[in-house]
Amino acid sequence: MSELLIENHGAVRVLTMNRPEKHNALNTALTQSLLDALLQADADPGVHAVVLTGAGKSFCAGADTSEFSALVPEDPLAVNARADLTTRLHLTFSRMAKPVVAAVRGNALGGGAGLAIACDLAVMADNVRFGYPELKHGIVAAVVMSNLARQLGRKHAFELLSMGEPIDGARALALGLANRVEPAEQVLDAAMEVAAKLASWSPIAMGTTKKLFHRVADLTLEEGLAAGRDANVIMRGFRKAAK
């Protein structure tokens, strides 16, 4: 059984994490498959948007802790390789040109919560369990912390990290971590609707919008305006090329 299912619905590619018996917990194989699939989708001219979801009851319950015992301190190369893989996966979402929509149901915990907000947009179930319970297990929400702090600001981000309690869809929407909240059985359809809308735009314009967005988010106002000015000049060629 493949741990990652890949389906095309027109110009939308659906990636389904497929370890339902483990609530789609991320082992090395699934993490690598996700990274490869995202890069392949970004390189495929027939794909204009991506939906990321999970099979079964949950989106993703985070890292597969049963795999941790194999990454013993006596094998630092394996430990480093796993950490590097996780980091590359989370960075890929913002670096790829194609927009990614998360369809989040059930548990989205730890690394799973990190994946949900790494996506460009998120549709969550009203009864979702979204959070960072790492401290309850004596570990740290390490790789996922940077994106959370950037999206929420210090007070709310630290509350989620330090309290370890999951929040529901309404709270996620209020905090700005979700774009839409739907009943669980409607989440995937709603995410597909959003992705289809994104896929309908010019791929060049959509890709430039996404790349510029992530670039200016980390720049000063002056630097961001300069980057926008350069994109504005390039943009003038989009309409001509489309005719």
8 Å CB contact between 61 and 98: no
Q: How many CB atoms lie within 10 A of CB 165?
A: 12
Host H or E run for residue 7: strand 4-9
Angle between helices 76-95 and 111-118 (to 10 degrees): 30
Q: Which of 134, 165, 182, 193 does the annotation list as catalytic?
A: 134
- Indicate if the alpha-carbon torsion angle 54, 57, 61, 66 is positive or negative: negative
- Residue 134 designated active-site: yes
- Please tell me the distance from the alpha carbon of residue 61 to that of residue 118, in angstroms, as a whole number: 15
Beta strands in 128-196 (DSSP E): 129-131, 180-182
For residues 27 and 67, is the Cβ–Cβ distance under 8 A?
A: yes
Phi, psi of 36 (to 5 degrees): -60, -40
Q: Any idea which residues carry the catalytic annotation? A: 134
